[in-house]
Structure 1
């Protein structure tokens, strides 16, 4: 395959970022687009010099286009499941934004279909790509901090807090998003903790909160009830026995986009943050130094992952490593569901007790 032809579904801000990256990837061309917004479709289509018949308003028609080798889906959560299913049915490779689906029930349906008709697929948990987090993973795998005992993970943003008077956008709409900061930011924390530590979350206890219960309608300014969380926290135990402490909020004034993790092991501690994606703090006991010693490791950009070229490679039939599979996306959704149920029932929840897909697989 000389050239990989990509179709983009959804033309919002995140899609523009993906289009820039694909445009800079050798051997890849954006050959079709889809959106329900006529203005976005026209402006993007003109910019890419796409003919009229490659500017779709129907995602299913784009997926069925024989000229398109792979789909990139950048849409709100309530369309994730239908696009996933359509790609699986069509046998079309897919690069999709997290979370896997809006609800856990949708995730079960998608996984069962995928197991019948697997396709090349990347679920974009984008912080895996960060050079600093990749270095942490390598150091843990090489045994530099010994056995992992516990970690602290947080993802904080400020844009939803009171001083910003943020209106009722889709991320606050339960019918569109499913959960609030939990599914949006918390899913990243779940993925990063399991990916870096190398162990799945086994059980947890959680609390969810809606700090701002009403937000103004963007059109009328009338108050609208918010029925999703804007703060989530939980404690969890991993299958290897280690412990995790997690918090995420959209109401953390002073935090623009602060996703960070600190991992404590037998031999040392590692810390990295999106506040500087090229630095790792490495604390350990050094010979000749009283107490512990912290050094800052500078991580080059080429240690990060490049999901755009990786997607082109899997379309060509090559093997790639480091990216989240659909199965991992499902596992992430399973943990999200455990958080929701723990808060609802005010109880400890064993994650695999909720694993309907596992039960179905065994029963079948």
Structure 2
């Protein structure tokens, strides 16, 4: 008779865009993988009870709470999953850690670097497992790129080029949703989009040494929002409110290993729905990846035969590609949702075995330091060293 697998009872705060993605990952992870603990969708939390009740039923949660404090107090919850707007991350995560709950948190980790450091301190002092959701790391193609780089196939890294381009707020009449409210989001495209590019660059290339950049807001005022969900919203009146976050972020960077990088994040790149792209050039070769074609990794090697040189496209769906073997036969592509499943596998195994999988709150702090350094540079028009902010 097979051993009964230990359960990990999840309590999730929030239930919309990321709540749907996280719920799906917890529900499906054991279908594809064999995590060392079995996730149980124990309770979900939100403020609008009727909407919350419907979400709980649709996504398969056993119960719900309308106060996250009550969720944390429950004895039948082992891990708190935070998918709320950015301004509540720190308070919930710190309270959860003090209650002895493991913590899984959406990015960016908090509104500020200082809050991020407080969150890291709380999980460390209370000995709980912690992880931040940078799911793009867990595309098999990105994992394959990491493998090639770590094996030295690209040699010394020279350049990193990262773009994260969207266009969903280009209409000046698009309302002032929470992602455009500094008190709630902390920043605009910079913290929402560039945070992913920063994390991918750190994962693939290494730590940032210094940065210089600019932030720009193109539309200074927008209609006051009546309701919003995900990346959409509706305006209630003809009243306008001030936009206090950036519409675009552009910066250059130097890495500790000598590589240099250029980074651009914007919500004003027409025709780009989710253009998350990265290119890395080394002495022996290059790689390119585009989230909108996430199964493919473009690879170039300098020592290819003359006349046949150029980028080749690797469809990273074969069993030898990281995570891909858990899904379908080669060429039967996977999607955005599977990056969350891959990440959740690592989270569950980390909890089972008592180690902090990557990326965790330490990564969240380092990413926040780069974000804040760019903001400082935009204000001072000077280079900012990352180490100075981490002291």
Partner of 2:26: 22
Partner of 1:6: 10
Normalising by structure 1, we get a TM-score of 0.92
**CA displacement, residues 160-205 of structure 1 (integer Å, 9 cap, x when unaligned):** 1137x421100000110011110100111110001011x1111011
- Give the one of 51, 64, 67 matched to 1:55: 64
What value does the CA root-mean-square deviation take over the aligned residues? 1.8
CA distance in 1, matches of 2:353, 2:99: 17
Comparing 39-48 with 136-145, greater Cα deviation is found at 39-48
* 1:112 corresponds to 2:147: no
8 Å CA contact 1:313, 1:320 repeated in 2: no
CA distance in 2, matches of 1:70, 1:325: 14
Shift of 1:314: 2.4
Shift of 1:16: 1.1
Question: 2:277 is paired with a residue of what secondary structure?
Answer: strand
Partner of 2:349: 313
Comparing 39-48 with 66-75, greater Cα deviation is found at 39-48
8 Å CA contact 1:215, 1:224 repeated in 2: yes
CA distance in 1, matches of 2:381, 2:213: 8
Shift of 1:354: 1.8
Normalising by structure 2, we get a TM-score of 0.85
Question: 1:25 is paired with a residue of what secondary structure?
Answer: helix
8 Å CA contact 1:69, 1:315 repeated in 2: no
* 1:297 corresponds to 2:336: no
Comparing 260-269 with 33-42, greater Cα deviation is found at 33-42
Shift of 1:221: 3.4
Shift of 1:325: 1.2
Question: 1:288 is paired with a residue of what secondary structure?
Answer: coil
Partner of 1:262: 279
1:228-247 matched pairs, under 5 angstroms: 228-247=245-264
**CA displacement, residues 47-72 of structure 1 (integer Å, 9 cap, x when unaligned):** 36766xx4211112111211112111
CA distance in 2, matches of 1:237, 1:288: 33
**CA displacement, residues 137-164 of structure 1 (integer Å, 9 cap, x when unaligned):** 110001111010111001000101137x
Shift of 1:320: 6.8
8 Å CA contact 1:71, 1:94 repeated in 2: yes
* Count of residues in Structure 1 that have an aligned counterpart in Structure 2: 351
Partner of 1:362: none
Flag the 1:179–1:303 CA change in 2: closer, same or farther, 3 A. Answer: same
Unpaired segments ≥5 residues, structure 1: 359-364
- Give the one of 160, 163, 180 matched to 1:151: 160
Partner of 2:328: none
Question: 2:237 is paired with a residue of what secondary structure?
Answer: coil
Comparing 202-211 with 22-31, greater Cα deviation is found at 22-31
Unpaired segments ≥5 residues, structure 2: 31-37, 225-234, 324-338
Shift of 1:274: 0.4
Question: 2:6 is paired with a residue of what secondary structure?
Answer: coil
CA distance in 2, matches of 1:49, 1:11: 12
CA distance in 2, matches of 1:265, 1:117: 41
* 1:203 corresponds to 2:238: no
Shift of 1:294: 1.8
Shift of 1:20: 1.6
**CA displacement, residues 77-117 of structure 1 (integer Å, 9 cap, x when unaligned):** 00010011012101211111011101122123223333322
**CA displacement, residues 310-363 of structure 1 (integer Å, 9 cap, x when unaligned):** 222223235575x311111111111111011000111111111122xx3xxxxx
